[in-house]
Chain A
Amino acid sequence: MHCAVLVFPGSNCDVDLYKAILQIKGATAEYVWHTDTDLDRFDVLLIPGGFTYGDYLRPGALAGVSPVIASVKKAANSGKLVLGICNGFQILIEAGLLPGALLPNQSLQFICDVVPVKVVQSKSPFTSSYNHGDLLRLPIAHGSGNYYCDEVTHQELESNGQIAFSFPPENNPNGSLAGITGLLNEQRNVLGMMPHPERAVKQWLGSTDGLGLFQSMLEHHTA
């Protein structure tokens, strides 16, 4: 499984993501600058967290129209796996690959914490190593992770099983609608999520609950 780690001006989780991939036996990774458009050699596209373009206009808005994104869209339509984490999730939404919007956190504060995250959908290439209802401990670090969509879209997301991860109602740190913090596209080959699985791959990092995500992707690839 050869993974592209896309790098934009202002990405800052690219190295973490790259190293997390290398934890997985059978996975390789390569950095790709945002002006490159040839992604054919990759099986999986990863968009890391950060503050691309200084979050100017809206988080992810300027990265969402970068040259590489047209190729990401093409790859997503052809069924390749695309994972966006944190700012990567914001970019996927701005690029129109996932529905809704990520607003500033309800508290207006940047939140940096390790929080419980519920697996809502385990039938996807990204989450098959988990069980429905598993409570993961994952780091979050964001200022705009407050997921919003209109009621019609929310119903669709529910009935299509597109909600991958959610914060439990008693611990919703950013005010996201229904606690939504991980979202699949309808075909389930694109996932955006606010929590950082790449920061939860070693016991000395505080949690290894993020490994399952990368493991699931590898299993999907080799199946």
Chain B
Amino acid sequence: MLQPNVLDVQGQAVQGALKHLGFESVEQVRIGRQIEMILPTEDREAASLQLREMAEKLLANPVIEDFQIDIQEA
């Protein structure tokens, strides 16, 4: 997700479009991204560390984005 202090022009445009559809009450729209991956491991702790590193190094841009990690076992 874009950090709260970063202007989300895409979100603003979508908010405007929602308004055109009659959803006048929407106060703010912010758009993020969801990345799903399969990580074959039994070690939840190690997976979490690895995912954090991936997010910091490539998947998210720490200058403008925050990220959240959600691990689900298959």
Contacts and interface: CB of A to CB of B under 8 A. Distances in A.
Interface string B44-70: 000000000000011101011000000
Contact of B10 (A94, A104, A150): A104
- Which of B10, B57, B63, B64 has the most chain A CB atoms closer than 10 A to its own CB? B63
Nearest to A64: B58
Interface residues of A, number: 20
Given A103-B9, A104-B9, A58 B63 contact: no
B38 interface: no
Contacts of B7: 103, 106
B59 A101 contact: no
A101 B57 contact: no
B63 A108 contact: no
B29 interface: no
Contacts of B59: 57
Interface in A121-152: 146, 148-150
14 contacts: A61-B58, A61-B61, A94-B61, A99-B63, A101-B61, A101-B64, A103-B9, A104-B10, A106-B7, A107-B9, A108-B9, A108-B10, A146-B9, A150-B5
